[in-house]
């Protein structure tokens, strides 16, 4: 009688090997000449020469998808959350003026389902290609008893680079500067714990429900992909005059943007001056959520904000229009009272 095996304990190495073959093909599609394929077994290698930069500075960020994953589980659709993760991380580092270089992911589950892993990695690879970012490594962990059946967690780390003299950090912001906002696709990846409680528990809705005001099923709305603002940021920086960039995530428009402000300054937001996606009105109505809570939890339709000199605002908006980007003046910087 044989003893216990790793598979008996709940870890299927054969399934992991089968997934790895497909994953390698997806990952390889994101590689350019900077990814060194002929060295290394336990680490990924990336060419770190930057002849176009005077003083290259590496930037990095790590994030997850949060409880938006619960919607993916309910929909049994796993090809969008990887795109959410990459785009979120790209936006984060590009607020400093960086350009993305490479990305690494972490996928953990109780029982490895090769088809699910492959869908997730497909999304990661798609977004990496769209953002000119190499997916150079990751970790797939199978941990029985750690996660409920059919569920997993997903996180990622991105590394980028910026010339020291080109860093955008908000230190030059002053009273009178204008806030130019770009629309979000919906919740992006923040506020899902509150949204799920309101919509599913209080509202009695399901992912298949089609509430008034939405164009399709609720699940489809909640799985809308967190936008990448890479092309818009590149256009804005090329136009000049940008002194700060805010990625509107958890904390809302004010919570994220005021992190940029030097002492003695505050924000005046022109609430209601841009179109708000219907999903936010639905949450507000069903949950009777106070407006202060809505504003500090959700992006309310604005996913990225440029802080720009007033005299440069029109030029910035024209540069954004040239790359088919809609923009709105959503506020200004004022002296703190």
Q: Tell me the pLDDT tens digit for each residue of 183-232.
A: 999 999 999 999 999 999 999 999 999 999 999 999 999 999 999 999 99
The larger pLDDT score, comparing residue 337 to residue 216, is at: 216
Can you give the pLDDT at residue 22? 78
In whole angstroms, how far apart are CA 66 and each of 109, 113, 206, 282?
15, 20, 19, 21
Q: Tell me the pLDDT tens digit for each residue of 70-81.
A: 999 999 999 999
In the predicted model, is pLDDT for residue 337 greater than 90? no
Domain locations in the chain as residue ranges: 13-166, 178-335
CB neighbour class for 6 (10 Å; exposed up to 12, middle 13-18, buried from 19): exposed
| Predicted structure pTM score | 0.93
In the predicted model, is pLDDT for residue 38 greater than 80? no
What's the CATH architecture for 178-335?
A: Alpha-Beta Complex (3.90)
In the predicted model, is pLDDT for residue 8 greater than 80? no
Per-residue pLDDT averaged across 125-153, rounded? 95
In the predicted model, is pLDDT for residue 10 greater than 90? no
Can you give the pLDDT at residue 6? 54
The rounded mean pLDDT for the chain is 94
Per-residue pLDDT averaged across 309-326, rounded? 97
Per-residue pLDDT averaged across 311-331, rounded? 98
Per-residue pLDDT averaged across 273-300, rounded? 97
Alpha carbons 270 and 258: distance in angstroms, whole number: 15
In the predicted model, is pLDDT for residue 157 greater than 70? yes
End-to-end CA distance of the chain: 79
Percent pLDDT > 90 in the chain is 87
Can you give the pLDDT at residue 186? 97
> Does CATH place domain 13-166 in 3.40.1350.10?
no
Can you give the pLDDT at residue 13? 59
């Amino acid at each position: 009688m044989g003893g216990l095996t790793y598979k008996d304990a709940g870890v299927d190495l054969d399934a992991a090997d089968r997934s790895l073959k497909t994953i390698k093909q997806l990952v390889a599609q994101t590689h350019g000449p900077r990814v060194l394929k002929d060295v290394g077994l336990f680490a990924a290698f990336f060419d770190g020469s930057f002849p176009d930069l005077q003083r290259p500075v590496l930037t990095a960020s790590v994030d997850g998808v949060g409880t938006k994953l619960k919607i993916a589980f309910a929909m049994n659709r796993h090809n969008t959350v990887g795109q959410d993760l990459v785009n979120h991380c790209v936006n984060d580092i590009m607020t400093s003026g960086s350009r993305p270089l490479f990305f690494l992911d972490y996928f953990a589950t109780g029982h490895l389902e090769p088809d699910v892993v492959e869908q997730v990695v497909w999304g990661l690879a798609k977004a990496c290609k769209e953002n000119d970012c190499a997916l150079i490594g990751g970790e797939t962990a199978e941990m029985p008893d750690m996660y409920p059946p059919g569920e997993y967690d997903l996180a990622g780390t991105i590394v980028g680079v910026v010339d020291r003299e080109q860093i955008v950090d908000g230190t030059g912001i002053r009273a009178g500067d204008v806030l130019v906002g770009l629309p979000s696709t919906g919740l992006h990846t923040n506020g899902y714990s509150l949204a799920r409680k309101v919509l599913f528990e209080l509202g009695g809705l399901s992912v298949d429900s089609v509430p008034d005001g939405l164009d399709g099923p609720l699940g489809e709305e909640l799985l809308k992909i967190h936008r990448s603002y890479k092309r818009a940021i590149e256009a804005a920086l090329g136009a000049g005059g940008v002194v700060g960039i805010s990625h509107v995530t958890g904390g809302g428009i004010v919570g994220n943007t005021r992190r940029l402000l030097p002492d003695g300054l505050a924000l005046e937001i022109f609430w209601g001056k841009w179109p708000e996606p219907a999903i936010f009105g639905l949450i507000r109505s069903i949950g009777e959520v106070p407006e202060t809570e809505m504003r500090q939890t959700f992006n309310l339709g604005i996913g990225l904000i440029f802080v720009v000199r007033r005299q440069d605002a029109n030029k910035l908006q024209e540069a954004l229009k040239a790359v088919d980007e809609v923009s709105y003046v959503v506020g200004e910087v004022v002296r703190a009272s």
